[in-house]
Amino acid sequence: MSGAGDPLRDAIAPWLERSARHGRAVLLAVSGGPDSSALMHAAAALAHPGTSLRVATVDHGLRPTSGDEVEGVARAADRLGLPHTTLRWTGPKPGSGLQDAAREARYALLSSQAAAIGAGLVLTGHTRDDQAETVLMRLAAGSGLAGLAGMRAERNLAPEIVLGRPFLHLPKATLVAWCEARGIPVLRDPTNADPRFARGRLRDAWPALEREGLSAARLARLAERAARDEAALRSAAERALATALRPGTEQGATLRLDGARLAALPEAVALRCVDLALSRAGAAPRRLDRLEALVLESLLPALRRNAPIRRTLAGILIASDAAATVSLAPAPPRRHPQDAALAAGDPRLLGKGGPPAYIGEVCTDGPAEPGDASIRGPHTPGIDR
């Protein structure tokens, strides 16, 4: 199965070969834009009898023309001899955070469809340009290394189902030109250039950013470096947590850590070690700035001077005693409504004017625009993919 020098076919071939070896179907996520249309046509050209390709289109139902667009994808898939399924996002839509909700719904629908047809692989058409937008938006949001690592070329979507992005290293222009050279009709969403949307404003700014050297290629390279360094730090934190964990529980604590070992760690490792411990204790997703305040401004200084402290974060009570034992246990119920709202992250009390920056792999699937009022409009995410 050779791409014969074709960059798109060369990118897809290893994914299809791997699925064929395992005898699993491949689900292509196709919206009808140039990126996913290129994905569908290139995969169809490479498929052989041992490869079972299926196509799915998610209809978010957010624009009046979405049904017609889905039908167009279905006809294109039929001409290629590929079975097509429409996955509809039904039910009420949120008044805010629409794109995040749509993204979660999209991957949930794709995961369910993959499981239903026995597919072990879901492929999307994300490009290097998408990666650059992701990194730039997360940079603006104040993300740490995990956020700046952007999207992963491969990640687990569900047990035994992998999400793959074979084009993540290719510029979007390559995919557009590939479709144009073959006369492949594609859809274009005009709202992607609408200045009311953060993505549209960002795309307007690209020429100025590139003149200053902030190109998509460099941002993608930053993502690779951040991913490499984050993986090393996370691995070090996992080893540190295994060493710092104390057996048994005390006064209802779910985890007990050796604070002296924690205090001796480099701050970047200690931060991730506590983050892993919080996850193991059942904590909710947490903002990076709040985790930094807990670990760097409270916990580590207290451990280094043998001073006891008690703090809560993401539903977990973190306490250290004079013997440098750190315990993590579910936080007691809040007594007052305002306390409960604060613990839940009520934006009226926290003054959250922008999106949260997480330390872990929370936002992994493309440029998110939380905190931007424009996302409340009737925009279908990712139609140009």
What pLDDT score does 194 carry?
56
Out of 330, 356, 379, a domain closes at: 330
Which residues face 28 on adjacent strands?
A: 55, 123
Is the same domain home to 73 and 198?
Answer: yes
Rounded mean pLDDT of 254-263? 94
Whether residue 133 has pLDDT greater than 50: yes
Whether residue 78 has pLDDT greater than 90: yes
Looking at the domain assignment, is residue 144 inside a domain? no
Known binder of ligand: residue 36? Answer: yes
Cα 166 to the chain's mean position, in Å? 16
What pLDDT score does 302 carry?
96
Residue whose pair of structure tokens reads 């959250």 in the numeric block: 352
Distance CA 68, CA 305 (A): 66
Looking at the domain assignment, is residue 145 inside a domain? no
% of the chain exceeding 90 in pLDDT: 62
Q: Which residue has the higher pLDDT, 2 or 262?
A: 262
Q: Which of 26-30, 67-71, 189-193, 198-202 has the lowest mean pLDDT?
A: 189-193
Q: Which of 102-116, 130-144, 293-307, 326-340 has the lowest mean pLDDT?
A: 326-340
Whether residue 247 has pLDDT greater than 90: no
Give the DSSP per-residue string, 26-41: EEEE--SSHHHHHHHH
Looking at the domain assignment, is residue 273 inside a domain? yes
Q: Which residue has the higher pLDDT, 248 or 284?
A: 284
Out of 308, 330, 352, a domain closes at: 330
**CB neighbour list of residue 247: distance below 8 Å, 6 or more residues apart:** none
Known binder of ligand: residue 327? Answer: no
Is the same domain home to 48 and 107?
Answer: yes
Looking at the domain assignment, is residue 381 inside a domain? no
Is the same domain home to 47 and 119?
Answer: yes
CB-based contact 224:151 (threshold 8 Å): no
CB neighbourhood size of 12 (10 A):
26
Largest pairwise CA distance in the chain:
72
Is the same domain home to 73 and 180?
Answer: yes
Which residues face 54 on adjacent strands?
A: 27
CATH number of the domain at 96, please. 3.40.50.620
What pLDDT score does 371 carry?
36
* Phi, psi for residue 358 in degrees, rounded to 5: -90, 155
Strand duo 154-158 + 161-164: pairing: antiparallel
Q: Which domain holds residue 172?
A: 8-126+165-214
Looking at the domain assignment, is residue 319 inside a domain? yes
Closest C-alpha among 267, 247, 266 to residue 257: 247
Known binder of ligand: residue 34? Answer: yes
Is the same domain home to 40 and 180?
Answer: yes
What six digits make up the tokens of 269?
């490792």
pTM: 0.81
Closest C-alpha among 299, 287, 288 to residue 257: 299
What six digits make up the tokens of 380?
């279908």
What SS3 state is found at 326?
strand
Is the same domain home to 177 and 253?
Answer: no
CB-based contact 331:339 (threshold 8 Å): no
What pLDDT score does 337 carry?
53
Is the same domain home to 39 and 185?
Answer: yes
What pLDDT score does 190 carry?
58
Looking at the domain assignment, is residue 222 inside a domain? no
Is the same domain home to 169 and 294?
Answer: no
Q: Which of 159-173, 309-323, 334-348 has the lowest mean pLDDT?
A: 334-348
CB neighbourhood size of 209 (10 A):
16
Is the same domain home to 178 and 48?
Answer: yes
Is the same domain home to 176 and 112?
Answer: yes
The model's pLDDT over 281-290, given as tens digits with 9 standing for 90+, comes to 999 999 999 9
Whether residue 336 has pLDDT greater than 70: no
CB-based contact 313:358 (threshold 8 Å): no
Looking at the domain assignment, is residue 102 inside a domain? yes
What is the count of structural domains for the chain?
A: 2
Is the same domain home to 178 and 66?
Answer: yes
What six digits make up the tokens of 208?
């100025």
Own/partner long-range contacts of 216-222 (Cβ < 8 Å, ≥24 apart): 216/128, 216/129, 216/131, 216/132, 216/171, 217/128, 217/132, 217/171, 219/131, 219/132, 219/135, 219/136, 220/128, 220/131, 220/132, 220/135, 220/150, 220/168, 220/169, 222/135, 222/148
What pLDDT score does 92 carry?
81
Looking at the domain assignment, is residue 53 inside a domain? yes
What six digits make up the tokens of 345?
């992250």
Whether residue 2 has pLDDT greater than 80: no
CB-based contact 147:291 (threshold 8 Å): no
What six digits make up the tokens of 104?
């979660």
Amino acid of residue 26:
V
Name the average pLDDT for the chain: 83
The model's pLDDT over 360-381, given as tens digits with 9 standing for 90+, comes to 443 334 444 333 333 333 333 3
Does the CA dihedral 202-203-205-208 come out positive or negative?
Answer: positive
Known binder of ligand: residue 31? Answer: yes
CB-based contact 262:303 (threshold 8 Å): yes
Is the same domain home to 207 and 257?
Answer: no
